[in-house]
Structure 1
Amino acid sequence: MTPIRIAIVGMGKIARDQHLPAIAGNGDLIVTATVSPHHPGEPGIPHYKTLEALLADGPLIDAVALCTPPQVRYDLAATALAAGLHVFLEKPPGATLAEVTALERIAATSGVTLFASWHSRFAPGVEPAKSWLAGRELKSVSIVWREDVRVWHPGQAWIWEAGGLGVFDPGINALSIVTHILPHLIFLKSATLSLPANRAAPIAADLAFRDIAGTEITMDLDWRQTGPQNWDITVGTDCGICKLSSGGAVLTLPTGIQQLEEREYPALYERFATLVHEHRSEVDTAPLRLVADAFLSGTREIVEAFDD
């Protein structure tokens, strides 16, 4: 089968660290071009400053992977879809829910694939956790997602701007897992967002959710963590504790600990290739809806200024 010719749009850290290696290891895809107004590109791969320049003068492509900040992603995605290209969206799939809905409609009209990717759902412990939790009675859920923003997002000014999500940029990863593994729908009850005095997006957040069966769910997000980093989801059930640690890489069940091979982005691109071959789209906005609800109804508190 002829490989899907894909262009990477946005050549920041995530594209270089995750997307390029994942595609290189997948025989169903080949990077045919890159696009960035700031990065010079990769040796041996045609590079363009804009998507319009690629479409006008570049090699033929079948798909694009959009690795740009979410604030500028809609126009790029709409242009690609209208040109008949399949589109892979980094998380979050857009800056707003409405624009993602619009992209779904454009993709359906154009007859191409739109994939809203959630890489944390492909962490190795996630599917086994989902299977173990199926049919069990939930007692409680605790999410603790604490990391040092200076380590993981150094110098990324866009993430502190309106639409950049702040601490919800990693926090939405936890929500992508929880909305996938829990057996019932969840909704927001309350939220407190802590915004630095010099930033437009939160550096920390405390949230309370509940599922439709009445289970209480707490979430602790903080970008000021130093020392050990925490990416943990703990689910209490009638049969014991199910815990996902290290962002889903480690699964602890009453029967013991499972530490499996990490391959989130390779698995994402396998899924994308399957969707393209099957002429289907996959756009789940549940994690983004919960974040949007936190911004809509959460209480804001101003905390000390933050500079990285």
Structure 2
Amino acid sequence: MIKIAIVGFGKIAQDQHLPALQKNSDYQLVAVASRNTSLDGVAHYKTLEALLDAMPELDAVSLCAPPAVRYAQAQLALARGKHVFLEKPPGATLSEVEALSEQAKAAGKTLFASWHSRYAQGVAPAKAWLADKTIKSVQVNWKEDVRVWHPGQAWIWEPGGMGIFDPAINALSIVTEILPKPFFLKQAALQVPENCQTPIRAQLEFSYEAGAAIQADLDFLQTGPQTWDIHVETDKGTLKLSKGGSQLYIDGQLEKEGPDEEYSGLYARFAELVKSGQSDVDVAPLRHVADAFMYGRRETVEPFHEDT
């Protein structure tokens, strides 16, 4: 069994990482490192460094803290000879992730940049269906309520927090997975609240082969029903991934639907990588976000307040 610890025991770790680990017989969860939260039945430490000092027998860590601190944590864990699972995004910058990839390779340890939405039930069959199609257009609609999904998390509005791209990178992780060929940012508009450093809404346009357009409409202020949809028009029909990829429609007919097992898939993949001595560090989704910040037009909009 892989002796693993969770570092950063917030909402995503409690809701997704913990149950996925508990169901997987490849792992033994032996510790949690978190400033404010512990878990009954396993050791608790305030910091990753304290954890590593106390438990040299540890095999791996799952890093679930915000991206701004992820590089330092991953660098330390790799230096101590541990395999590293990175919650998305894998780092605050592309340079950080590249450095970690090289460090993992030199240490002979596994580094896994996880993209949980790629493990939604409809994504693999969508990729297979699109493999021999000519893409005519892609429309991404990714709209959710930040007050529901990130209550009180001010870090998301700071540099490195990514704002709307924190959830929207999930859409980009799916699109980069299912399309047969790469695409490139053509233009972007980023709406940034005057009291924040990261966008609350964004509109992106990408170029694809043969003039096909890829467009994305991203919104962090959607109330009521949430929208996580990807529409793909091809020469042989229309594909739609809905509910974050858990539902696949072909020409309006539901072809695939299943339970939320994204994190179970991630941890199964991580175990495979550890056992085979390999890494998986795909930064394509993060690169598109970086391109949007570098190439997008910023528009200042009304301030964001948690309680309004």
Deviations 1:137-163 (A, max 9, x none): 111100000111111111111111000
Mapping 1:279-290, distance limit 5 Å: 279-290=277-288
CA RMSD of aligned residues (A): 0.9
Q: Which residue number in structure 1 is paired with residue 111 of structure 2?
A: 114
Output aligned runs, 1:1-308, within 5 Å.
3-39=1-37, 41-58=38-55, 60-254=57-251, 256-257=253-254, 258-308=256-306
Equivalent position SS for 1:84: coil
CA distance in 1, matches of 2:88, 2:210: 28
Q: Is the 8 A contact 1:184 1:213 kept in 2?
A: no
- Match for 1:214: what amino acid? G
The offset of 1:129, in angstroms, is 0.3
One-letter identity of the residue aligned with 2:227? N
Flag structure 1 segments of 5+ consecutive residues without an equivalent: none
CA distance in 2 between counterparts of 1:93 and 1:211 reads 25
Alpha carbons 1:4, 1:29 under 8 Å: kept: yes
Aligned mates of 1:29, 1:211 — CA distance in 2: 41
Post-superposition, which runs of at least 4 consecutive aligned residues in structure 1 deviate over 4 A? none
Deviation per residue, 1:31-61 (Å, 9 max, x gap): 111101122x101100001111111123621
Any idea what SS the aligned residue of 2:162 has? coil
Any conservation in 2 of the 1:32–1:59 contact (CA below 8 Å)? Answer: no
- Give aligned pairs, total: 305
Tell me the distance in 2 between the aligned counterparts of 1:214 and 1:81. Answer: 43
Amino acid at match of 1:4: I
How far 1:262 moved relative to its partner? 1.9
State the shift of 1:254 in Å. 2.6
1:62 positional shift: 0.1
Residue 42 of structure 1 aligns with an amino acid whose one-letter code is L
Tell me the SS of whatever aligns to 1:166.
coil
SS in 2 for 1:112: coil
The percentage of aligned residue pairs carrying the same residue is 59
Distance between the aligned counterparts of 2:27 and 2:55, measured in 1?
18
